[in-house]
Homo-oligomer: A and B are copies of this chain.
Amino acid sequence: MKSTVEPFEHLTGQLKKEHKKSYDAWLQYEPVMDKSLSGQYQQYARSVEAMETSSIIQSAKQELHHAFTSMFENTAGHDDGAERCGIVLTTVESVEGPLKVEAARLSRDGYQIKSVLTSEGPRIYLIGMEEQGVLYAAFHLLRIMQNGSLVDSLNITENPTNQLRMINQWDNMDGSIERGYAGASIFYDKNGFTGDLERIKDYARLLSSVGINGISINNVNVHHVETNLITESLLPKVADVAAVFRAYGIKTYLSVNYASPLQLGGLSTADPLDPGVRAWWKEKTKEIYQYIPDFGGFVVKADSEHRPGPFTYNRTHADGANMLGEALEPFAGLVFWRCFVYNCLQDWRDRSTDRARAAYDHFKPLDGQFHSNVILQIKNGPMDFQVREAVSPLFGAMEHTNQMLELQVTQEYTGQQRHLCYLVPQWKEILDFDTYAKGKGSEVKRVVDGSLYQPAYAGITAVSNIGNDYNWTGHTLAQANLYGYGRLTWNPDLSSEEITAEWIARTFGKDEVVHEQVRSMLLDSWSIYENYTSPLGVGWMVNPNHHYGPNPDGYEYSLWGTYHFADWQGIGVDRTVASGTGYTSQYLKENKEMYESLQTCPDELLLFFHHVPYTHELKSGKTVIQHIYDTHFAGAEQAENLKTMWEMLEGRMDGERYRDVLSRLVEQAEHAKEWRDIINTYFYRKSGIKDQQNRKIY
């Protein structure tokens, strides 16, 4: 497992130099100006001692060295002997005495940070259960220093709540990124690998610093060229990338084409019960592990949106997934089988078919039939990453099946990183949603952290929002989404406020005005975006294909199962058992009853579950139509205000990040008006009901 990457200090490219603040994201490591703090930190920084020499431990040392070099005037000491006080990196295995006993409580990726006054002087022990824990501990210590806290009496024990903390890249080998809004792929270009391992290493650093431990490096829609990623022509390159991630405690996975046996193997079938097919996948998997001994496994989008899958052969998803599971089993690899399966050639005239029902209808009957290393990867909602939709009823519904939550960090339907939309508050709502699967307290977060049913595997994954833009995410403030995602996978109980404060401090430093403005901008942004876009959970009022900008009927007469049924009287999808598609019956009693009844259905999901007249009165006391008008006028004003708030920060940060964010906020404010006017006009022209405040509707 040779590493093909030199330490990044020696390879720093033009981009990193010219756009340092933008590029460094939350790993800024500003010089510590407070003399007393600086003195305390340097006492430790002087010496960094490692008890092991693995690549991950080396990364931890590098990270500390890199940070200290940047934070302190005098170059920090580095690895110069155990006799001086300083920082000790070690796994539990190499620790002795009381520290060892205490550390035994750690889980696999857990760690302790302990300040200890030894006879030779003060030390900080960074103790990992395994080596990746040591790296996480190093990043944690640096976070403490970035926040300007004292470090001489640390006694921290951290275990991640989720076992699998993943990122999915939707990168194609032509360099494009499906639903990417931050430039081209950092992995691929012109149907090959970019070879820019330095950039990939910097991505690994960002991911590892927030606890991510797995990455699938190609789009779930596996096209012709990408199908070859599991062949000898490309596996050496995949192995190079895997080596970079390995050094940061991140396992590499690949999305695979279910029809690979046909395209690559020359077989005449991809039937998962065909012995030839099964043998082919076993051989293929073995081959992959020869290149990458710790390969993570496969992500599979099958029988979905024109992708091939087991349905072609009249087999179930369990048949399809288990075949891959068995091939991966000898190597402890995993299968992430996506549940995003629905009829994408629906007739809009047919009101009885409901796309929202599809995942549950397909997978619930298969509970208990999946192999132990197969994990169902379930999108947070039953539709597709809308700004607001119900939580998928599959969570908690399959007691005997591994489940994983899939979120979308990339802002496909939430402004495409041209609008500010901080998603941590949305994710918190999803994680905190109570499924009642085992009675009250059966939140989604307890399903996917495994504590509810103790499955073999569980966790959270998400579609990444990064590309080769110099600030990684297009919108500089969208870095906060990647940060927050990672932090929540580690600990879903962190509050939005905590995560936000951490991110601001690490990204912009300690300026109180910056903190106050950015905190408020971030925390309000999802609700602002929701205000001026699709109302009350109805979703889908976007332009087809690219999904940017308002188009109230954009998906109304389509094949995609995405309708709102607005007419001159009212709007919404009746998903009740009483008179609609019966989707509500997929929830357990408490939620079913809540959504089924107009009285108890929350306002923000009203149109997701019910078709109501425009004059229907919300719990707020407003009618639906007046709510639409009010939120849209308010939302556009709020978007304008985001710009004004940001303008207060001029001079309080580097010019590049200030200007980059400002230009996006200017576009957002303008585009929010377009949203406001089109949505309001659409509903006014349909309903004929005037705005009570007589504001301008066209």
Contact = CB atoms under 8 A, between A and B. Distances in A.
A698 B352 CA distance: 13
B568 A685 contact: yes
A348 interface: yes
A553 B553 contact: yes
Contacts of A569: 688
A243 to B, nearest CB: 40
Interface stretch (A169-177, A450-458, A475-483, A676-684): A676-684
Interface in A532-568: 550-553, 557, 565-568
Given A348-B698, A349-B677, A349-B698, A557 B550 contact: yes
Contacts of A553: 551-553, 682
A553 B678 CA distance: 11
B684 A567 contact: yes
A224 interface: no
A685 B688 contact: no
Most chain B CB neighbours (cut-off 10 Å) among A557, A565, A567:
A557
Contacts of A159: none
A687 interface: yes
A223 interface: no
Contacts of A550: 557
Contacts of A566: 685
A581 to B, nearest CB: 16
A681 B553 CA distance: 12
A686 interface: yes
Interface in A667-698: 674, 677-678, 681-682, 684-688, 698
A565 to B, nearest CB: 8
Interface in A314-345: none
Given A686-B685, A698-B349, A678 B568 contact: no
A307 to B, nearest CB: 25
A567 B698 contact: no
A354 B194 CA distance: 50
A569 B349 CA distance: 24
A128 to B, nearest CB: 55
A687 B568 contact: yes
A567 B686 contact: yes
A557 B685 contact: no
A567 to B, nearest CB: 4
Nearest to A349: B698
Contacts of A684: 567
A560 to B, nearest CB: 14
Interface string A243-262: 00000000000000000000
A671 to B, nearest CB: 13
Nearest to A681: B557
A200 B569 CA distance: 58
Dominant SS at the A interface?
Answer: loop
A532 to B, nearest CB: 14
Interface in A347-370: 348-349
A568 B349 contact: no
A687 B569 CA distance: 10
Given A349-B698, A698-B348, A678 B557 contact: yes
A548 to B, nearest CB: 13
**Which of A348, A550, A684 has the most B CB atoms < 10 Å from its CB?**
A348
Nearest to A689: B568
A557 to B, nearest CB: 5
A696 to B, nearest CB: 9
A349 B567 CA distance: 22
Contacts of A557: 550-551, 674, 678, 681
A566 B684 CA distance: 11
Contacts of A688: 567-569
A155 B552 CA distance: 65
Contacts of A698: 348-349
A624 B674 CA distance: 31
Contacts of A568: 568, 685-688
Nearest to A684: B567
Interface string A182-198: 00000000000000000
A46 B631 CA distance: 85
Contacts of A681: 557
A569 B686 CA distance: 9
A546 to B, nearest CB: 11
A632 to B, nearest CB: 14
A569 B688 CA distance: 8
Nearest to A678: B557
A196 B552 CA distance: 48
A458 B681 CA distance: 46
Interface in A625-677: 674, 677
Contacts of A682: 553
A566 B681 CA distance: 11
A348 to B, nearest CB: 7
B685 A567 contact: yes
A356 to B, nearest CB: 19
A611 to B, nearest CB: 12
Contacts of A674: 557
Nearest to A697: B349
A684 B686 CA distance: 11
A219 B566 CA distance: 42
Contacts of A551: 553, 557
Contact of A686 (B348, B565, B686): B686
Interface in A204-249: none
Contacts of A567: 684-686, 688
Nearest to A698: B349
Interface in A568-612: 568-569
Given A553-B682, A568-B686, A686-B686, 12 more contacts: A348-B698, A349-B677, A551-B553, A551-B557, A553-B553, A557-B678, A557-B681, A566-B685, A567-B686, A568-B687, A569-B688, A685-B686
The 8 closest A-B pairs by CB, nearest first: A567-B685, A568-B688, A349-B698, A557-B678, A568-B568, A553-B553, A686-B686, A568-B686
24 contacts: A348-B698, A349-B677, A349-B698, A550-B557, A551-B553, A551-B557, A552-B553, A553-B553, A553-B682, A557-B674, A557-B681, A565-B685, A566-B685, A567-B684, A567-B685, A567-B686, A567-B688, A568-B568, A568-B686, A568-B687, A568-B688, A569-B688, A685-B686, A686-B686
Interface of A: 348-349, 550-553, 557, 565-569, 674, 677-678, 681-682, 684-688, 698
